[in-house]
């Protein structure tokens, strides 16, 4: 099976986002002759990241208005998750169903012991058992790969960069460092403060996409059936166009956890999607299975 080295890509992307943070922070500290405010932004970012990390399961489940389901209600869902968790030598997560007909699924939780898997009613009706197994293998691998931690850290870094950039713009407009010898040029601070949040956002999206590729590959290995997930993704792409989720704030915040972009992405907005193109994901899965058209 072909490996795409997504772990290495994630590490490189984290290096890039740290480089943006250090460059912007260093330039602003030079302009202000003080680094104390930078630590305030870092602490705020760490605090919000920790809150999101520890409460990711509650926040996402509440956003989807999901409820826990018993084995009597969803025997197939429980059986598949139990079998896959046993195969992976991991605890069985809590299972939820969201009442929306928009087809999607996500897994969340800070570790396998505190994980939850949620499927919408739409995806349970859309997929057959084999395809559902492929989707659940993908979602469980997000938990096993600690992708909630990865996305929380990436989000925190991007948030810190945005906060520092906003402060830097304020300082540059009011001439911070303009008269101090050896301080950074305020125009350079302004230019970087405008570019840095965009760069951080693009890197954050790239990290999210590499984690999706990893979950596809590892989930397909867990189930032993890459074509099942490929078939599920193909169905999801078509059905989400017909039944997208409304772009409400809570749903937007949780969308990166879902197996497919739940919104109707068109034109320019596709460039800023948290998910890779479906065609590329399907092609990689078919390559894993040695499929030839």
Per-residue model confidence as pLDDT tens digits over 104-150? 999 988 789 989 999 999 999 999 999 999 999 999 999 998 887 77
Q: What CA–CA distances, in Å, run from 133 to 234, 243, 246, 253?
A: 15, 22, 27, 26
pLDDT score at 86: 97
pLDDT score at 157: 72
Instruction: Determine whether 250 is an active site residue.
Output: no
Among 265, 216, 256, 203, CA closest to 59: 256
Q: Between 134 and 28, name the one with better pLDDT.
A: 134
pLDDT score at 2: 42
pLDDT at 67 over 90: yes
- DSSP E strands, 53-212: 67-68, 94-98, 105-108, 116-120
Mean pLDDT calculated for residue range 187-197: 71
- Domains present along the chain, CATH in parentheses: 6-53+151-198 (no CATH), 56-147+207-288 (3.30.2010.10)
Helix (H, G, I), strand (E, B) or coil at 44: helix
Average pLDDT in the chain:
81
Q: What is the largest CA-CA distance in the chain?
A: 73
What pTM did the predictor assign? 0.77
Question: For residue 139, what are the contacts with CB-CB under 8 A and spacing of at least 6?
Answer: 105, 106, 107, 117, 215, 219, 259
The structure tokens 């950074």 sit at 184
Helices 56-63 and 36-54 cross at an angle (nearest 10°) of 60
pLDDT score at 1: 39
Q: One of 73, 121, 139, 250 is an active-site residue; which one?
A: 139
């Amino acid at each position: 099976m072909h490996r795409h080295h997504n772990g290495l890509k994630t590490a490189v992307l984290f290096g890039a986002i740290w480089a943006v943070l250090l460059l912007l922070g260093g330039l602003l500290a030079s302009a202000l002759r003080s680094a104390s405010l930078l630590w305030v932004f870092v602490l705020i970012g760490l605090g919000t990241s920790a809150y999101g990390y520890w409460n990711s399961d509650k926040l996402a489940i509440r956003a989807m208005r999901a409820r826990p389901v018993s084995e009597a209600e969803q025997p197939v869902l429980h059986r598949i998750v139990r079998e896959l968790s046993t195969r992976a030598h991991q605890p069985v997560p809590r299972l939820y169903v969201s009442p929306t007909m928009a087809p999607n699924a996500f897994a969340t939780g800070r570790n396998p012991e505190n994980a939850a898997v949620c499927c919408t009613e739409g995806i349970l009706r859309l997929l057959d058992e084999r395809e559902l197994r492929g989707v659940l293998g993908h979602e469980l691998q997000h938990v096993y790969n600690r992708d909630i931690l990865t996305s929380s850290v990436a989000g925190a870094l991007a948030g810190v960069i945005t906060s520092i950039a906003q402060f830097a713009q304020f300082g540059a407009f009011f001439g911070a460092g303009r008269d101090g010898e050896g301080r950074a040029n305020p125009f350079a601070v302004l230019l970087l403060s405008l570019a840095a949040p965009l760069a951080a956002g693009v890197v954050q999206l790239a990290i999210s996409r590499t984690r999706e590729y990893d979950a596809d590959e590892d989930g397909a290995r867990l189930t032993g059936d890459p074509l099942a997930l490929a078939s599920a993704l193909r169905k999801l792409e078509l059905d989400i166009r017909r039944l997208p989720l409304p772009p409400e704030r809570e749903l937007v915040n949780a969308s990166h956890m879902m197996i497919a972009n739940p919104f109707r992405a068109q034109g320019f907005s596709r460039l800023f999607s948290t998910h890779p193109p479906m065609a590329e994901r399907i092609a990689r899965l078919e390559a894993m299975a040695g499929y030839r058209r």
